[in-house]
């Protein structure tokens, strides 16, 4: 695995470790108030980043393009902002909500960019 694929899979592993650590913390403390953060970390972080990694691994030429790099950084930065912001928000700090909103929209933009990158490659004759 190289380039964008390696970057996304590295990010996926980091997300999985963070999400599992949060899950363990909730189980040990019996405080499940961060369940939405845990779920977002595992699905939006671990699962989506792993899927992106395998796509770019299967289509290495696409992973070498500038647009793939933009996709990685948009997804990485907005995802971290979303998850950290969500954690802080659910901890009782509503002032962080604008960060969560902007990060959510940017994360969605990353998914739209992925659709723009991936769908033509998948439907190419």
| 11-27 per-position pLDDT tens digit | 999 999 999 999 999 99
Q: Is residue 70 part of a domain?
A: yes
What distance in Å separates the CA atoms of residue 31 and residue 35, rounded to the nearest whole number? 9
Q: At what angle do helices 97-123 and 66-90 cross, to 10 degrees?
A: 150
Q: Is residue 28 part of a domain?
A: yes
CA atoms within 13 A on the CB side of 107: 22
Answer whether residue 120 shows pLDDT above 80: yes
20 C-beta neighbours (distance < 10 Å), count:
14
Residue 11 domain boundaries: 3-119
Coil, strand or helix at 119: helix
Q: At what angle do helices 97-123 and 48-58 cross, to 10 degrees?
A: 30
Arithmetic mean of pLDDT over the chain:
94
How many domains, in total, are found in the chain?
A: 1
| 33-72 per-position pLDDT tens digit | 999 999 999 999 999 999 999 999 999 999 999 999 999 9
């Amino acid at each position: 695995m190289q380039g964008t694929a390696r970057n996304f899979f590295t990010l996926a592993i980091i997300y999985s470790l963070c999400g599992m650590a949060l899950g363990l913390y909730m189980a040990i403390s019996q405080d499940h108030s961060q369940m939405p953060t845990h779920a977002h970390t595992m699905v939006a972080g671990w699962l989506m980043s792993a899927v992106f990694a395998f796509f770019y691994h299967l289509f290495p030429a696409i992973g070498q393009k500038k647009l793939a790099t933009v996709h990685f950084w948009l997804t990485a930065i907005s995802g971290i902002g979303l998850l950290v912001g969500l954690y802080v928000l659910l901890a009782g700090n509503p002032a962080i909500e604008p960060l969560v909103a902007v990060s959510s929209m940017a994360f969605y933009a990353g998914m739209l960019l992925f659709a723009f990158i991936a769908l033509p490659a998948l439907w190419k004759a």
